Chain A
């Protein structure tokens, strides 16, 4: 190997001596490797840098906000009225609105997404799977503003027939539509996890006389649980961060309630509402959106940490 290499170096380098040529060649290769490594590191690092920068900006702007509003009041207050004369900055109504819409969304997306994944991975014939999957991906590609109007102009009137007295803006309708919107995320990640379960486990189950359904639910699903949990976490992050649907369909009035049939604003809805308004830069109202954004990031981070823990806890090795 080394000999062949030396011969090649001589051939290309003309009449140069074998040993120095080889050393020189090695050094240039070494430098090239280092450059490539540095470039790869920089691109990987850019993701980290962006995240750190976002958090830094949020912290910096929030710090200015917290000079005017105490952290305790911010975290425990139940009134959020930044535009009033006597402004109150209690984040809880926005957190409640966020959790309720996300909760309704998950209540829709987790069961439906999981059932879809089980069907596609374990039951669907090849042709059905190849037909259904593009549609699911299409669902992923619909702009969220379209979902927002779908919630407001289609789902809400439908719900009003079932629940007379339901306000035109309500968290239920927004939550349901968020749920439909994130089904593809939950189902495709879960399905990938289930299809990665080795065939030998399925055969082991069938050989014991299990039916397809028993095999899917008792063997494949537990074996894929870490991926399925990851899918749920992805769904939660999407639901918590979803903006357009709630801004359009859930109403924009902060409302401290856990009742999904009421209208309420979420953290994201508040942020767009204020960011689009004519608030002067550096006013307290303007700074409040950074504090709200910080809470949103903290919530998403918390869910991700829980998800990470669950994944490790249930990690299966096959």
Chain B
């Protein structure tokens, strides 16, 4: 599936958009940013999101929905704020001084504003997990890497942890490769395996949303293909947001795409529409490679 080439230019009709998404978009008819009664349930609603670090405004009033059990891709040229946006969802910016959010990200169905200062970022990160650009396994065994999230939550039942670790490794398509050496150091795995281990680690705690920050940019094409396949499988269970600088990847894996430029959301729509009939000229220029 991932070997289908993506063609650039007016021939973009050939863009391999995932068929289910296409059909769905057809059926929906008008998946505008905020339809009155969205047929695809919304998992998170971003409203007027602004982000400042120091005097610099990184995000300028973004509003868009994140659809449940769908893959939403964030694309745009370097420095457009797509990673900054992604890292708002799990409050990663709280780790560094001088960062401020404004606006809200409402997590549905309970409607909690993830950015509210009364909301503990640790609670947020327990529900929303993240996979990073470079695989970052901990200096521990394969088993302990996957068990990490459970351990920090205070899970002490060995049996329960064993089960969760196996389940997560199976979901990350890594179980067969590592089941006989769970006690080996995670650094001994290959780059692609390490990244799938990080996905397993993020899955083990049953998150509602998973954030992927350019998860394949440090990987070779074969490892990339396996990660993309994994993302396609995972969306049956959870909501996925993925930042990618690779438009082919966005076209291959996502159902919805947001194009960002200089901290603003230029266009949000189904991936099919963004790639085949973007409404904005800027989006089209970027998609067709005339810019960026």
Contact = CB atoms under 8 A, between A and B. Distances in A.
Q: Are A and B genuine complex partners?
A: yes
B130 A207 contact: yes
A223 B126 CA distance: 23
A222 B92 CA distance: 23
Interface in A162-182: none
B44 interface: no
Contact of B187 (A205, A206, A211, A317): A317
Interface in B199-226: 201-202, 205
A214 B126 CA distance: 14
A203 B122 contact: no
B122 A211 contact: yes
Contacts of A316: 139, 187
A209 B205 CA distance: 10
A211 B140 contact: no
A208 B139 contact: no
Contact of A218 (B122, B123, B148, B201): B148
Contact of A200 (B123, B132, B152): B132
Contacts of A223: 138-139
A309 B153 CA distance: 35
Interface in A304-318: 316-318
B151 interface: yes
Best-buried of B152, B153, B202 by chain A (most CB within 10 Å)? B152
A222 B136 contact: no
B94 to A, nearest CB: 9
Interface in B103-147: 122-123, 125-126, 129-130, 132, 134, 136-140
Nearest to A201: B136
A234 interface: no
B130 to A, nearest CB: 4
B90 interface: yes
Contacts of A219: 138-139
Contacts of B90: 207
A201 B138 contact: yes
A209 B136 contact: no
B140 A206 contact: no
Nearest to A200: B136
A210 interface: yes
B92 A208 contact: no
A200 B137 CA distance: 9
B136 A204 contact: yes
B149 interface: yes
B182 to A, nearest CB: 17
A214 B138 CA distance: 13
A316 B151 CA distance: 21
B209 to A, nearest CB: 12
Contacts of B198: 204
Interface in A43-62: none
Contacts of B153: 209
Nearest to B122: A209
8 contacts: A207-B92, A207-B125, A209-B122, A209-B126, A211-B152, A218-B148, A316-B187, A318-B139
Interface of B: 90, 92, 95, 122-123, 125-126, 129-130, 132, 134, 136-140, 148-149, 151-153, 187, 198, 201-202, 205
3 shortest interchain CB distances as A-B pairs:
A209-B126, A207-B130, A209-B125
Given A203-B95, A205-B148, A317-B187, 14 more contacts: A200-B134, A204-B137, A204-B201, A206-B92, A207-B132, A208-B148, A208-B201, A209-B125, A209-B149, A209-B153, A210-B152, A218-B138, A316-B139, A318-B187
